[in-house]
Amino acid sequence: MPEKETIVVIGAGVIGLTTALRIQETLNRNQSIHLIARDFPNTTSLNYASPWAGAHYRPVPGSTPQALREETQAKETYGYLKQLASSDPSSGIAVVEGVEHLEDPPVEYLDEQSVQESYGHLDGFRRLGREECPAGVSWGVRYDTVTINSPVYCAYLLRKFVLGGGVTREYTVIDPTEAFYLAPNVKTVVNCSGLGFGDERSFIIRGQTCLVRNPCNQTVTRQNTDGSWSFCIPRPLSGGTIIGGTKQPRDYNPSPLLETREKLLANAAKWFPFAPGSDGKFDVIRDIVGRRPAREGGMRIEAEKVEDGRFVIHAYGAGGRGFELSYGVAADVVKLMVSNKLVGEKASL
């Protein structure tokens, strides 16, 4: 009987976890899967971005190749997350109303075809009339979105992977080819490392948000006249509410800045649906700083053949859209593996 083949996935962020699960569904009886990572959902690290995320589903209109690719991946992910919210609330996902109010919408939001392509798949999507928008808002929409309690969801994905027979190992990989030696008979390594092991096109985006106790039952995304954005995202399962946020490319400051917190809360206080008795103030639990692993031109999703017929499948660089793209990215990875005859194809998750 031939030795069992092992597929190794590097990285236990939301992309790595989701990808490992989708691959697990395609394995034949002579294959097993290992998940190797520096950080897992039970750990807290500034460079482990997924547990720090808001997170919610929000379309991003655009016509670049990257935008169109992400739109396809996001639509597939939306359908999966929506289904998961109804079938298993313990996943930490819930369907809520999403509202967007833009004071000075960028040009891509003024292209009706682009907006329809980006938003049209969302349940309950419609443009808001001027009379429905707050003062100063010139563009508004509402739709049914999903919000994600990110630490809960990451732990849920890991639990499913382990219960499905997956093996985990905490290990800091230096180069993806190292993973060929970390388990028996490895022919395929899937690189979901986030920043991609020295890829010159990869960079971090520093994000600072604030977790507050104030409840709300919708996501609100607000663009201000000066071009800045703010948002609130309720975390399911009594996880508080995220007030955000910043996007600071290549900013390595690990510490939350008080002035940033004050600006985030001041912007959100202008529109946040405060409950009676809150006096219009936020009750802060903690500041959050995370480093989103981004890449110029978008994610690298590619099959690389290395010596002896081995393959490294790359899937990294999602930036701030890891949760929104995760299921679609995992599908693209599986397609690459199937086309290279690295796995068989069975029913999806």
Q: What values do phi and psi take at 209, rounded to 5? A: -135, 180
User: Quick one: the chain helix, strand, coil %, rounded to 5?
Assistant: 30, 30, 40
Q: Cβ neighbours of residue 28 under 8 Å, at least 6 residues apart?
A: 343, 344
* Cross-strand bridge partners of residue 316: 300
Q: Which two tokens stand for residue 164?
A: 């499905």
Beta carbons of 20 and 161 less than 8 angstroms apart: yes
Instruction: Report the Cα–Cα distance between both ends of the chain, in Å, rounded.
Output: 29
Is 115 one of the annotated binding-site residues?
no
The span from the CA of 177 to the CA of 188, in Å, is 10
Beta carbons of 220 and 271 less than 8 angstroms apart: yes
The span from the CA of 120 to the CA of 97, in Å, is 15
Is 292 one of the annotated binding-site residues?
yes
Is 79 one of the annotated binding-site residues?
no
Residues written for the chain: 349
Q: Cβ neighbours of residue 329 under 8 Å, at least 6 residues apart?
A: 15, 18, 19, 73, 299, 301, 315, 318
Q: Which residues are annotated as a binding site?
A: 173, 292, 320
Q: Which residues are annotated as a binding site for D-dopa?
A: 292, 320
Q: Which residues are annotated as a binding site for FAD?
A: 173
